[in-house]
Amino acid sequence: MREAVDAIVNAANSRLSGGGGVDGAIHRAAGPGLLEECARRYPEGCPTGEVRITGGHALPARYVIHAVGPIYRDGRHGEAGLLAACYRRALELAARERLRSIAFPALSCGAYRFPWAEAAGVALEAIAQGLQEHREIAQVRMVLFNEELFEVFREEVERRRRCERGSDTK
């Protein structure tokens, strides 16, 4: 929430109404104007796998990109594709708005129960692809809510590095 970037991504619910976890923390830090703007601009909310943008209000970031990740059921209902779409669409929107820096949480990894290792793979792949398409974005940060989740993402980054070097076939 206190990231010095052009936009932070909110792990939003489909009503864009604030809530718990990252979503609630962002709404509290941004102040009541964020909820008011969401209700005014997006009265129908936002479908899963899509994103919407608002001002940052009291946040240091100029914008908030609200991404509605999937609730994880069993991995056989398109959850990975919807999660990847959130990251890709957030980057597309950032590029369209000419933003140069963006900070993501680990979407769907809290109350939506997405398995962390799978979510890390999906997120990092979608971000890598998005940055290939949108080279004007200079910086992407992952802001993770605890040390355990950080380790899962770090391990995925290391696994990807080994694969790039050809020393890991996983």
Please identify which residue in the block is written with the tokens 């943008």. 53
The pTM score is 0.94
137-166 confidence digits (pLDDT tens): 999 999 998 999 999 999 999 999 999 888
Calpha distance 82→123 (Å, rounded): 11
In this structure, what is the dihedral angle of CA atoms 104, 105, 107, 111, given to the nearest 10 degrees? Answer: -160
- For residue 3, pLDDT beyond 80: no
The mean pLDDT of 8-14, rounded to a whole number, is 97
Q: Which two tokens stand for residue 122?
A: 């999906």
On the CB side of 63, CA atoms within 13 Å amount to 24
The domain 7-145 is placed in CATH, from the list 3.40.50.1980, 3.30.565.10, 1.10.10.10, 3.40.220.10, at 3.40.220.10
Q: For the chain, what is the mean pLDDT?
A: 95
Q: Which two tokens stand for residue 54?
A: 């608002």
Q: Would you say how long the chain is, in residues?
A: 170
Active site residues: 23
